[in-house]
Amino acid sequence: MHLGAAIAYKEKAKLTETTPDFWEAVQCFMSTSKMMPEDSEFQFFVRWNFAELLSLVPDFRASPQLENLGETALRSWSILVEHPYCNNPKKIEACSRVAGLFINLNEDYNEAKNYFVKGVELLPKAVLLHSSRMEQLRMLRKFHYLPSMTAAAMLKAGDTAASAI
């Protein structure tokens, strides 16, 4: 299989919302991932699309098989946070996804907080990357939830209200 087929299977799984199509897409991404070197730009695209596919699962705790996929999604998004081909807006999105998975899978608010903080630290770089004021505002709107989610995770992790603010 190749990346184009894997993406097509992902889109089909999104449209049909059926289990067989989802598992076909998972298998396709796994085989495609094995064919590419870890540090290639194409591997980044495979990982990103595979992580997005895994994000279609509404509840990873529904079965042991899905729980394993939840851990795979957590690893995939974590790798993307540090991937050299991942730009700042995508890193922020990956940080948010990792934090959400830490909360949903492990109820680990401390790790979630760390990823939310990393996303908040990247936010100014992502916004200032654009020269147009309109693009900067679009970027701020896209990640408007990040500061409040960071504060909530910090409070849930046991940090003081003063440090969360």
Note the pLDDT tens digit of each residue in 136-164.
Answer: 999 999 999 999 999 999 999 998 888 88
pLDDT at 37: 80
Band (pLDDT 50/70/90 cuts) for residue 1 is low
Please, what is the average pLDDT of the chain? 88
Q: Which tens digits make up the pLDDT trace of 48-77?
A: 989 998 888 877 777 778 888 888 899 999
**Residue 110 reports pLDDT greater than 60:** yes
Pick from 29, 42, 114: which is nearest to 78 by CA? Answer: 114
Which pLDDT value is given to residue 7? Answer: 84
Q: Which amino acid is at 164?
A: A
CB neighbours (10 Å) of residue 70?
A: 19
Tokens coding 90: 């995508």
Give the C-alpha separation, 74 to 51, whole Å: 8
Residue 96 has pLDDT above 90, yes or no: yes
Q: Residue 6 to residues 25, 26, 33, 53: CA-CA distances in angstroms?
A: 6, 8, 10, 10
pTM above 0.85?
A: yes
